[in-house]
Amino acid sequence: MARWPRLWEKKRGKRRTGSPIFGSVGEAMFFAALLFLGSIGLVAVVASIAFESVVATYLFPEATYSAGKCVVMETDLSEKTLDGGDTRYQPMILVHVRSGQRDYVGWTYRRNPTWYADRDAAQKIVDGFRPGWVYPCWYASYDPSTVILRRSTNFTLWIILLVFASFATIGTIGMFYTLLLFGASAERRSALAKSAQKIELIGDLLPPSAYPNIPSAENLTNSPGVRLAYRLPIEVSPAWWLFATLLFSLVWSGMTAVFALAAIADLERGEPNWLLMALTLAAVAVGIWSGYHFLRQISLHTRVGPTYIEISNHPLLPGRDYKLHLSQAGRMHLKKLRVTLICEEEATFLHGTDVRTEVAQVFDAEVANFRGLVVRPGTPFEELLHFQIPLSAMHSFKSSHNAVHWKLIVDLEAKGAGSQRRSFPIVVYPAVKSNA
């Protein structure tokens, strides 16, 4: 029998939780509001500029100006003395504009009067215009007396367009994602995730594995070693962290530059926006910190060079001995370099309405531990090591909700560079049973 969806769902005892249907509806409405606000804002801004509405002429008037030609008739340098005795200078250009029914003669340069403290700077602008020559100009169709020779970059317009475009983009992506998962159960969401994981361009060309729940070791053996059979790939390369830090620093610096230019433009017009200046100073502080953090990371990773591990065999079997070749490059004094073989168990489960993942380390064996090493440029520290997978060890395993991961961990502690951990995944197969 059909029933109305309930706003609250009973969970356990007197505990209650929100309805998934109403939650999905609320999420969809939120993203729909963002999409609507962004789309309407973009259309309104573009339409106001195209039709030269009152909003556009008030917020960003120079965006509505039309391009034309004018004849410079005379140039001059206006002066004024402030209360403190300082003198300011303003370039003044007398122009003649004749276009259709427009026939205007007047003094102009920019839309807002711009006064310079440096006389030479103002005079240089005046000297850039010669009487009798034709120059490009911009004028407002709704006001024949508004003519300018220099049009300022309208940062307010670009910031508004960027904000509305961001709203529209976030709303579109959020709506698509919400509608895709609307009303889907946890099982349905898990099935969608599995379907995405099975999309492989060459999956049909690969033979089926004899161990379907053991991770493939092909990506771990496609790089031959120099001293031993294979070079193991690092699980998370430091280059990705450096790239993310650089990307954030560049994006933030670009945003800061936009705010700074807008604040400077307001100061030049004599109309300082103190809120914008405060935000700009805060953004500059964050930009300086992000740049310093990126340079520090570059310095640290330059001093603590790459770590390479080569292994004699792969995949591995319990109860057998294997060789490792460790190579650590860089330029540093190492307080500690420790190589560890670990095993982690990972479980993904449903806790109420939340999907949680917990990881527990169930095995830890030290392979090597070095202290007081000095690594010099061009001469990496190298060592041949031996280790064994315990005979009773659980093999590598991966399913929808559980996983067993084996890894070789290299912990570094360098003087003046802090501590770093580098992980190298390995695959352990089940023990071979004897026929005897």
Amino acid, single-letter form, for residue 284: V
Q: CA torsion 71→77→80→85, rounded to 10°?
A: 160
- Across 388-395, average pLDDT: 88
Residue 385 has pLDDT above 90, yes or no: yes
Residue 223 has pLDDT above 70, yes or no: yes
Residues 29, 6: Cα–Cα separation, whole Å? 18
Residue 400 has pLDDT above 90, yes or no: no
What does 67-96 look like in DSSP terms, one character per residue?
Answer: EEEEEEEEEEEEEEE-TTS-EEEEEEEEEE
Residue 341 has pLDDT above 90, yes or no: yes
Q: How confident is residue 236, by pLDDT bands cut at 50, 70 and 90? A: low
Task: Using the structure block, give the residue that is written with the tokens 């067993």.
Answer: 404
- Across 251-276, average pLDDT: 75
Contacts of 299 (CB under 8 A, 6+ apart): none
At 433 the pLDDT is 64
pTM of this prediction? Answer: 0.48
Contacts of 251 (CB under 8 A, 6+ apart): none
Task: Tell me the pLDDT of the chain averaged across its residues.
Answer: 78
Q: Tell which wins on pLDDT, 364 or 193.
A: 364
- Across 67-90, average pLDDT: 88
Question: Residue 10 in 3-state DSSP?
Answer: strand
Best CA proximity match to 373, nearest among 327, 408, 320, 340: 327
